[in-house]
Amino acid sequence: MKAVNLFLLASIIGVELILGIVVAPTIFFPQNLIGEGVLSHFQSGLMMTQIFIKMGYLLIFVSVVNFLYEIYSLIKDEMKFH
């Protein structure tokens, strides 16, 4: 269970890095890849907002799993001291 928890936390960090390093520049500066007049900054902002909302769902899921794991670990450790 600990390995799954650590993997989920590491994957969230990886997703955040990819969104910031790769996705954001591609969405906000599409003229560098496919030419001028493709998307306005407003349209790019709307697209990035949807990406961040979907990433937020993943972050909530991982946070809940992490919270449950920490509660389980706390209960398990307290039982050892009785």
For residue 80, is pLDDT > 80?
Answer: no
pLDDT number for residue 79:
62
Q: Give 80's Cβ-side CA count (13 Å radius).
A: 5
pLDDT one-digit tens code per residue, 3-25? 999 999 999 999 999 999 999 99
pLDDT one-digit tens code per residue, 32-53? 888 888 888 899 999 999 999 9
